[in-house]
Amino acid sequence: MLSLLITIPTYNEAENIESLLKALFDVVPLETEILVVDDNSPDGTTKIAEGLIPSYPGRLHILNRPKKQGLAAAYLAAFEWGLSRPYDAFLEMDADFSHNPKYIPKMLFELSSHDVVVGSRNIKGGGVEGWSMLRNIVSKGGSFYSHLVLGCPIKDLTGGFNMWKKTSLEKIGLRNIISKGYSFQIEMKYRAWNAGCSIKEIPIIFADREKGTSKMSKSIFLEALINVWRIRNCVASDSGIDQFIKFAITGGLGTITNLTIFFLCADIGGLPEIQISVVCFLVAVTQNYIINHKWSFKSNVGEKTLSIRKWFEFIAISLLGLGVNIFVMKTLLLYFSLPYKVIAQAVGIAAGMIVNFIMAKLFVFRRKI
Ligand SMILES: Nc1nc2c(ncn2[C@@H]2O[C@H](COP(=O)(O)OP(=O)(O)O)[C@@H](O)[C@H]2O)c(=O)[nH]1
Ligand SMILES: [Mg+2]
């Protein structure tokens, strides 16, 4: 049997948390544990959960965070906590009884032959109870829209009742996640699909909450709509070939910038070539650093900002690339009789660029897992 950690983010769920925890411990296997991630709810959710710890020794854990930081941060903290402990599987669920604990045994069963199990409202047998027509339209519309933008076959992309094998979370690379709010659920599933995880949807009936209030708001919803595009841009460019093409285009743009400034200053302005050449190099390298950060290696750096240190590192690897370029060019000229010197220079540039790309990918824009 897989050892499961149920992770429950809570914000002002005082009316639900006690009955939910009891209901969960009633249906789950003995080796299942629960982690409640509370953002210091003003209604005292944490206190109530803490009061239950003695009833379930070693099985109920609480992560209390200092302030409300959004759904994604709560789940990421929960996974980080759980991944450093010997659990094989993780379940995400709301604290408000929208996700019925009765589905958990079936999800666990399916997880033995899949990497991810999605509790789905949008397949045969699934559905929603108690939602207003408006909320239904908003949810279905959001799902359909994400579906269109991402081209991902999962029927319930937005749902938050999902079970993950430890290995699937490791495959996704949680540090790459860019979502802060509800698009987190879309991003997780999209990344899992992209990473080649096997995903099983099982039908669930989602019940509207009876107690407490939803934390979903217009701004959270709008953020999710925009984020779908950011997720797409970020994840779709993960492959090395894509990155290399973008890196090469960026290098080409840098060369154009370099030549333009050189032409304006040296030819038209009559300024000294060597000094101008250094300036051209610095401007082009800076431009390359920014475009590579924002575009070519976007999927590696995620939300990290530009930094002086990385800029220096990028200059350093660019100089190294130049060194390789000159070395290869000179070596070719020395050992081969070529009809044109420019052939040696072209091979030199290609070699320098490959070294540059590898150094950029592994060093300057390294993806942290
Ligand atoms: N820790 C934490 N939990 C949150 C936050 N926002 C929402 N939640 C919890 O996430 C779950 C889903 O939120 P909910 O309000 O039910 O959203 P809805 O189901 O879309 O209406 C609930 O258990 C909330 O208490 C947050 O900022 N921090
Ligand atoms: Mg809910």
- Give the model confidence (pLDDT) of 299-333 as tens digits: 778 778 999 999 999 999 999 999 999 999 999 99
Atom of ligand 1 nearest to the CA of 214: 15
Q: Which of 184, 201, 236 is the last residue of a domain?
A: 236
In a domain, 369, yes or no: no
In a domain, 30, yes or no: yes
In a domain, 57, yes or no: yes
pLDDT greater than 80 at residue 4? yes
Q: Which of 46, 64, 71 to mutate to test the pocket of ligand 1 (most atoms within 8 A of CB)?
A: 71
Whether residues 259 and 282 share a domain: the answer is yes
Question: What secondary structure letter does DSSP report for 32?
Answer: -
Whether residues 339 and 259 share a domain: the answer is yes
Whether residues 192 and 300 share a domain: the answer is no
pLDDT greater than 90 at residue 19? yes
User: Tell me, what's the pLDDT at 369?
Assistant: 34
Q: Which of 34, 68, 94 to mutate to test the pocket of ligand 1 (most atoms within 8 A of CB)?
A: 94
Whether residues 29 and 133 share a domain: the answer is yes
Residue with tokens 């990473």, as numbered in its chain: 195
User: Tell me, what's the pLDDT at 2?
Assistant: 86
What sign for the dihedral angle of Cα 142, 145, 150, 156?
positive
**Mean pLDDT within 123-129:** 95
Q: Would you say the CB of residue 298 lies under 6 angstroms from ligand 1?
A: no
Closest C-alpha residue for ligand 1 atom 9: 10
**Cα–ligand 1 centroid distance for 232 (angstroms):** 24
Whether residues 142 and 283 share a domain: the answer is no
pLDDT greater than 80 at residue 101? yes
- Of 359, 219, 344, nearest to 297 by C-alpha is 359
**Cα–ligand 2 centroid distance for 208 (angstroms):** 7
In a domain, 272, yes or no: yes
Q: What is the dihedral of CA 267, 268, 272, 275, to 10 degrees?
A: -90
What sign for the dihedral angle of Cα 304, 307, 312, 315?
positive
In a domain, 354, yes or no: yes
- Give the model confidence (pLDDT) of 155-195 as tens digits: 999 999 999 999 999 999 898 898 988 899 999 999 998 88
Q: Which of 236, 252, 284 is the last residue of a domain?
A: 236
Q: Which ligand is nearest to the CA of 9?
A: 1
**Mean pLDDT within 84-103:** 97
Domain count across the chain? 2
Whether residues 208 and 357 share a domain: the answer is no
Q: Which of 6, 7, 11, 136 to mutate to test the pocket of ligand 1 (most atoms within 8 A of CB)?
A: 11
pLDDT greater than 80 at residue 144? yes
**Domain boundaries, position 351:** 240-364
* pTM exceeding the 0.75 threshold for the entire prediction: no
Q: Would you say the CB of residue 324 lies under 6 angstroms from ligand 1?
A: no
Q: Sorting pLDDT into bands at 50, 70 and 90, what band is 149?
A: confident
Whether residues 190 and 290 share a domain: the answer is no
- Of 26, 168, 9, 160, nearest to 105 by C-alpha is 26
**Cα–ligand 2 centroid distance for 136 (angstroms):** 13
- Give the model confidence (pLDDT) of 232-279 as tens digits: 888 765 556 778 899 999 999 999 999 999 999 999 999 999 899 999
The order of strands in the sheet holding 89-92 is 60-64, 33-38, 4-10, 89-92, 162-165, 116-120, 199-203
User: Tell me, what's the pLDDT at 299?
Assistant: 76
**Cα–ligand 1 centroid distance for 9 (angstroms):** 6
Question: What CATH number did the domain enclosing 15 receive?
Answer: 3.90.550.10
Could you give the percent of the chain with pLDDT greater than 90?
A: 73
What amino acid is encoded at 264 in this protein? L
- Give the model confidence (pLDDT) of 191-220 as tens digits: 998 888 999 999 999 999 888 888 878 888
pLDDT greater than 50 at residue 7? yes
pLDDT greater than 90 at residue 151? no
Whether residues 187 and 128 share a domain: the answer is yes
